[in-house]
Each structure stands twice: as structure tokens, then as C-alpha cells.
Amino acid sequence: MIIWDNGHGEDTKGKRSPDWSNGQQLFEWEFNRDIVDQIQSIMVAERYDSEILVPETKDIPIRERVERANEIHKADDSILISVHGNAAPNADSKPHGVETFHYSLGGKVLAKELQQEVVNITGWKDRGVRQAYKKIKTKEKKTITIYKIAILKYTNMLSALTENGFYTNFEQCQQMMDVDIRSSIALAHVKAVKQYLFHLTQ
């Protein structure tokens, strides 16, 4: 089973672009769901076992999203891809491009496929594949691990999370609103997953 996490809901605070001077604003919940809905349509048409984790538009707490994914995985061995738009701390800031996160070594392989396909199809800056955690040294010289992305840490299946553009960058936000760009991003995710599954069988 392929599980598609469509990220935040319409009530999630802060997950939106600035209210640009041209009167437009991008909400991440709408961006994520549009892309995931397109992905799911393609996957179903091509007869892949595929499921959207959050069919609702309301905000579903991360704990419930994790529980849902683990229940699906318990019944049917799964992989999970979480689809997002990115943000920088300041409005109309310079950061732009695509990055993909993973938690496990297996997830890194999937993340690399996703990153490559989204970058190739959009032409956006490649910000790389990154760990969803970091190791730091304490004052007592002990190494501890800091986890950044709960949907990757607490789910039991192989997983990756894509950040498809920065809605805090005006130029990229305009592109993220474009229907053709969104369709391209959806196709890139589908292609990456199909390639990953193909390699597993070789």
C-alpha cells in the first residue's frame, strides 16, 4: 500500500503565504491536497494500491495521522509519502527550491527518487535530500538525537517527506499556484514511487 499524507488542514495556524500585494494568498492545505488528489487519481487509474491519509479538509492532529498510517501499515505493508509546501521565517524571503526528508536508510532511497523527479520536472533549485533528525553534543559531551518531523519518526513504515517550493518566496509562490506546475509535481511523485517500487523487484 502507498499512503499519501496530504499534510496540514485548513485550520492549521501559519501554514500559508503572506497576503501578497496583488491580493493573492496560498494556503498550504489547499496546495497539498490538490497535488495529493491528482496523485491518487493517477495511482488508482494505474491500479496501484494507494490511499490518502487525510480525506478531510479539517486539521487532523499529527498523533491521529500517525495512528492512521500505522493502522493501514499493520493491515497492509506500506510506504508513506508526505507532501508539503515549504516556508522560510520571513515573507518574500530568498529561500526557494525543493528538498526532501527521510528518517531511515530505506527512506533515503525513496527520498532521492522523489527529490530528483520533482527537481527535474520543475527546474527548481535542488536543496538536497536531508535527514529528518540531527545529532548534537551536550555540555556533558553526550550525543543526543533531535527529531524534526513527527510523521517520519513515529510511523512504522518506510517514509519520506517532500517540500515542494517555498510559499514565502513571491516568485515561487506564484508558480506553486499554477495548475500546470501542480500537475507536474504530482506526476513527479508518481514517477518516483513507480521507479522505487520497480527497483525493489530487481
pLDDT computed for residue 135 by the predictor: 63
Do the Cβ atoms of 36 and 24 come closer than 8 Å? Answer: no
The residues, any chain, with a CB within 8 Å of residue 191's CB and separated by 6 or more, are: 117
According to DSSP, the residues that pair with 83 across neighbouring strands are: 162
pLDDT computed for residue 90 by the predictor: 81
CATH architecture of the domain formed by 2-200: 3-Layer(aba) Sandwich (3.40)
Other CB atoms within a 10 A radius of the CB of residue 72 amount to: 18
Q: Which residue has the cell 499493520?
A: 74
CA distance readout (Å), 112 to 65, 149, 161, 196: 24, 17, 11, 10
CA distance readout (Å), 111 to 25, 123, 163: 29, 17, 11
pLDDT computed for residue 7 by the predictor: 84
pLDDT computed for residue 11 by the predictor: 85
pLDDT along the chain (202 residues), means of 10: 93 88 92 98 97 95 96 95 93 91 92 98 97 72 69 95 96 96 98 92 70
pLDDT computed for residue 141 by the predictor: 65
pLDDT computed for residue 48 by the predictor: 96
How much is the pTM?
0.92
Tell me the domain boundaries of the chain.
2-200
pLDDT computed for residue 144 by the predictor: 56
